[in-house]
A = this chain, B = another copy of it.
Amino acid sequence: MPKNMADRLLEAVDEKENPSVVGLDPRIPRIPNHIKREAKENAFSPFEAVKLAIIEFNKGIIDAVKDIVPAVKPQMAFYERYGSQGAVAMEKTIKYARRQGLFVIEDIKRNDIGSTAEAYAEAHLGEVECLEGKKRAFDADFITVNAYLGSDGIEPFLNVCKKENKGIFVLDKTSNPSSGELQDRKIEGNGKVYELMAELTDKWGEELVGERGYSSVGAVVGATYPEEAEKLRKMMLRNLFLVPGYGAQGGTADDVIPCFNEDGYGAIVNSSRGIDYAYEKEEYQEYGPEAYEKASKRAALDMKEDILKSLEKGGKVPDGW
């Protein structure tokens, strides 16, 4: 049996001794001016200028963090915002990051049923049939999915994961203030909605468990809900958690520790704005917008240290680190 996607990601986590990942959320107003100036000069249209600016900005960050983090997490909304040119920027970002040896978790929260979900799965994780032969479109390593539609909205993603040896993270307990409106509701004769989702996620992943005991089917569990995370960690021993909400959303390093298993694995903590726009922060001001990528590198190192300290405090540093 080959290593599954969780094994491969955890190998990279071990290599970098770092379970934190960098979100790539390009926001045009916050991209440094020197990049936008050059993009404008080289573009034929407003959307093309945006595309060039995003690609350039992301390359700077990817180069700066590639030796620090195991993966990057581009958030599709910030690319799709600019239509098809934004989609080009996503394709190029994924390709560039993978070439630099990073895993790519494409945060797309897609969901649909049957052959429609299959189309999304092929687009983002697999191959698609063109007029002559097959091609790869976005080709990420992992994507996020939303399971409101139940199993037949997820199976097409599982099929592609099996075939292509890729992975998904299912939205379970999200990091936002109103996530409880539905997710915290108690189901009769059962746990809460997020607990039902945890059971389903565990079941969906059971045929995709790798050498290290983790499935290629993980769960999204927000850093902002440590109590729920602790409960979920015990229910989902073989599912990796993708943990948003650290940093800009208010989650601290201590808050994310319940997402880890006792052996120090099991969670991947994301920070986006805090790393991408570190140059705007007082503590990294010395770099200035022209050297934004150096500020991002510093912030990525600080995040790593911050999480490692809390892992240490919690007695959850992996053996051998």
Query: Which residues on A are within 8 Å of B, measured CB to CB?
Result: 25, 28-29, 36, 39-40, 46-47, 49-50, 53, 75, 77-78, 80-88, 90-91, 109-114, 116-117, 119-120, 122-123, 128-133, 135, 137-138, 146-153, 171, 174-183, 185-188, 190, 193, 196-197, 200
Contact = CB atoms under 8 A, between A and B. Distances in A.
A221 to B, nearest CB: 13
Contact of A87 (B87, B150, B152, B181): B87
Given A150-B183, A179-B149, A182-B147, A82 B128 contact: yes
A110 B112 CA distance: 10
A152 B133 contact: no
A contact face: mostly helix, strand, loop, or mixed: helix
> How many monomers of this protein are in the complex?
2
B87 A39 contact: no
Contact of A81 (B85, B128, B150, B151): B128
Contacts of A151: 178, 181
A116 B178 contact: no
Contacts of A180: 150
A115 to B, nearest CB: 8
A133 B49 CA distance: 12
Given A86-B87, A188-B188, 18 more contacts: A40-B131, A47-B130, A75-B112, A77-B119, A77-B120, A81-B122, A82-B123, A83-B123, A86-B137, A146-B146, A148-B182, A149-B179, A150-B181, A151-B181, A152-B176, A152-B177, A152-B178, A185-B187
Nearest to A128: B81
Given A80-B120, A179-B150, A130 B185 contact: no
Given A77-B119, A78-B119, A84-B88, A149 B178 contact: yes
B113 A176 contact: yes
